[in-house]
Structure 1
Amino acid sequence: MLSDALSGIRILDLTAEPGFLAGKVLGDLGADVVKVEPPDGDPARRRPPFWGGAADPDRSLLWLALNTSKRGITLALDRPRGRELFLALAEQADVVLQTEPAGSLAARGLGWETLHARNPRLILCSITPFGQTGPRAAWRGSDLTVVAASGNLYATGDPDRAPVRCSLPVSYYHGGLEAAVGVVFALLAREATGEGQQVDVALQAAMVMPNIGTAAMFRMTGQRGARVGAFMSAGRTVQREIWPCKDGFVSFALRGGPARVPGLIAMVAYMDEHGMASERLKAIDWKTYNHNLLTQPEVDALTREFGAFFAPSSSPHAASSSTSSTPAAAGCALPAPSR
């Protein structure tokens, strides 16, 4: 537990992997989160890799990473007695989290109407690919389906190749955070109304947000954006975001703003610990830094210094006089920065 902000709030977590993070975040905020598993345990417990390499339901890294700050019980919700026990627990709970398809809980007598009748203050949060209503509500969908339907996949990858998804299911993480925030707002609303409500999180809708302004720009200009590989357009420049390293690649942005400047400052300090931060780099005033106002030569200078640290092959002094690592130097064709 990282906070006691939700101390006294009890949450029944029925979720599969798409909702694990929501329960974890709420537990980290102090809620008493009870993970409800089937009698033979959640299938995620059997997903490799396992801590220490030993296959064990308590050592799955997926399970360990996303289910801390929770207690656990087992219930057979496909049996009458299991449903009775769950409804009894729901009468004393504040929130139920679930990821089953629209209508599935109701078909077993555990839907919103039943839960609300038994406990009018209860909040039911559903996390599904396309939400509880609308023409796609009954559609099944994986992370890949959702990321593609959101438009996020279209813009991810190299311009001369097919789109690629992230190695981790990012829609589950974006959706999980949206669900946690939605639950907190529903709890606040309950203080005023005395009533619980449904929180409907569509993963496809949640994944529109990472597209930033692309969806709105398409309506205004007809431009859909483009895949630019390891780079991004910023102002009138092209800036690297995926950097080659000795054993693979690392994602690191030159972007500024309150959320990212602390990372830039920390990275320069880390480089300095290893003797790889030049005096010029250490002298930058990061408080006034704005990546949108950089010129391409300024971007290239930063790229050489950070690139030399991520994949060290020379001193920072030698790197500062080496050739540019812009897309042109790497043989990549990019759209105009304004796109």
Structure 2
Amino acid sequence: MTLLDGLRVVVLADHLADFGGSMLARLGAEVVLAGAAPLTGPREKAWHKGMTRSDAPLAELLAEADILLDDRRSGPRDDVDALAAKQRELVHVVITGFPDNPRPVTDLTLMAQSGLMHVTGTPDRPPLRLPGEQAYALTAIQAATAALMGLRARRQTGEGQRITLSALQATALANYREAVMYEHTGRIGTRRGNMLVRGKSGVRQVWPCADGFVTWSMIDNPGMMRALVRVMQAEGAAGELAEIDWDAILVADTEQETIERWQSIVEAFFARHDRKTLGDWSLEHGWGLSPIIRLSEVPDSPQMKARWVFDADGVPGPLFAVHPGRGT
């Protein structure tokens, strides 16, 4: 048994809805790609995982559907509105590139216009796009979320609804920190590379270790800093960090020269240990550190295995299903 057993989803896919349909399929819904091309390349096999394809008329598919993910990345679909309006209980999620605007979009233009490229990369280099098709994925996640919220509302009211969202807004949500910073300080974010700037100082985010890299930042979290320093002391590597009263200072207000000196001590400590050791310590003691895994390691990572995200061949598999002998 899965979370969405018995629900039927129809997807009009054009990049913005694809992964959202796959998410609903992995949650147990029956998901149909309406008139989509056969699944051939790696992208289609991953993004359309769990879905089936049908050439049946859309009106026929919608007659038994609970959800319609209506992808309008390339422009309007006026004929679809008329068909969907006939289904009183249908949750109709309309996904456009821009709010109330039929203008086409691409992953690249969404990355640029959302501001994500403006803050990604190093200050002395051009803007960078995130790998893959992250704008499409971010939008599809919002589409699946909107569909689930629509289902909950239908359970309470007995009626479906038409829900609209834009890819630009969905992508901009991933850049929320810059928007919040601008609202509170009037400062426009820029590319900082391997640095998180808070207050008058900046701290590193990515660190080399014995077998790769980890991500961690020295932030104003006294409990986290004390936990890290305790282990460093046990390893004989804490140096002057052991003398700091973390409750009495603000890292964000500390001079950059001092921050760099402290970080050099942490850097030497991280360099002595591998990702697994540091990751295990982080989980045990609450450091907020995460190992950065290589792409080839993703299917075998403990987190992915515990959630049964991948099939045996490494292809994305069903989420939240009942695994034999394990329960939900």
Question: TM range, normalised to the smaller chain?
Answer: 0.5 to 0.7
Is the deviation greater in 29-38 or in 158-167?
29-38
Please report how far the alpha carbon of residue 12 of structure 1 lies from its aligned counterpart in structure 2 after TM superposition. Answer: 0.8
2:130 alignment counterpart:
166
1:17 alignment counterpart:
15
> 1:305-324 alignment to 2 at 5 Å?
305-307=269-271
Please report how far the alpha carbon of residue 61 of structure 1 lies from its aligned counterpart in structure 2 after TM superposition. Answer: 2.1
2:67 alignment counterpart:
95
Q: Counterpart of 2:148 in structure 1: which amino acid?
A: V
Structure 1 counterpart of 2:80, from 106, 110, 125: 110
2:202 alignment counterpart:
238
Q: Counterpart of 1:91 in structure 2: which amino acid?
A: A
8 A Cα contact 1:237 1:299, kept in partner: no
Q: Counterpart of 1:9 in structure 2: which amino acid?
A: L
* SS, match of residue 23 in structure 1: helix
1:69 alignment counterpart:
50
2-structure distance, mates of 1:72, 1:255:
49
Gapped runs of 5+ residues in structure 1? Answer: 46-56, 76-81, 266-277, 312-339
8 A Cα contact 2:24 2:31, kept in partner: yes
Cα distance 1:234–1:301, how it changes in 2: closer, same or farther (>3 A)?
farther
Deviations 1:107-148, CA, capped at 9 Å, x for gaps: xx222x33121x1111111222213x1xxx122111111121
Please report how far the alpha carbon of residue 243 of structure 1 lies from its aligned counterpart in structure 2 after TM superposition. Answer: 5.0
Cα distance 1:256–1:70, how it changes in 2: closer, same or farther (>3 A)?
farther
2:174 alignment counterpart:
210
2-structure distance, mates of 1:244, 1:177:
32
1:195 alignment counterpart:
159
1:36 alignment counterpart:
34
TM-score between both structures, scaled by the size of structure 1: 0.64
Aligned residues: 256
Cα distance 1:189–1:237, how it changes in 2: closer, same or farther (>3 A)?
same
Cα distance 1:216–1:306, how it changes in 2: closer, same or farther (>3 A)?
same
Kindly report the root-mean-square deviation, in angstroms, between the aligned alpha carbons of the 2 structures. Answer: 3.8
Cα distance 1:225–1:103, how it changes in 2: closer, same or farther (>3 A)?
closer
Gapped runs of 5+ residues in structure 2? Answer: 229-233, 276-328
* SS, match of residue 126 in structure 1: strand
2:217 alignment counterpart:
254
Q: Counterpart of 1:18 in structure 2: which amino acid?
A: L
Structure 2 counterpart of 1:126, from 85, 94, 99: 94
Cα distance 1:256–1:168, how it changes in 2: closer, same or farther (>3 A)?
farther
- Aligned sequence identity (%): 25
Structure 1 counterpart of 2:142, from 144, 159, 178: 178
Cα distance 1:304–1:226, how it changes in 2: closer, same or farther (>3 A)?
farther
Cα distance 1:308–1:241, how it changes in 2: closer, same or farther (>3 A)?
farther
Please report how far the alpha carbon of residue 71 of structure 1 lies from its aligned counterpart in structure 2 after TM superposition. Answer: 2.5
8 A Cα contact 2:72 2:97, kept in partner: no
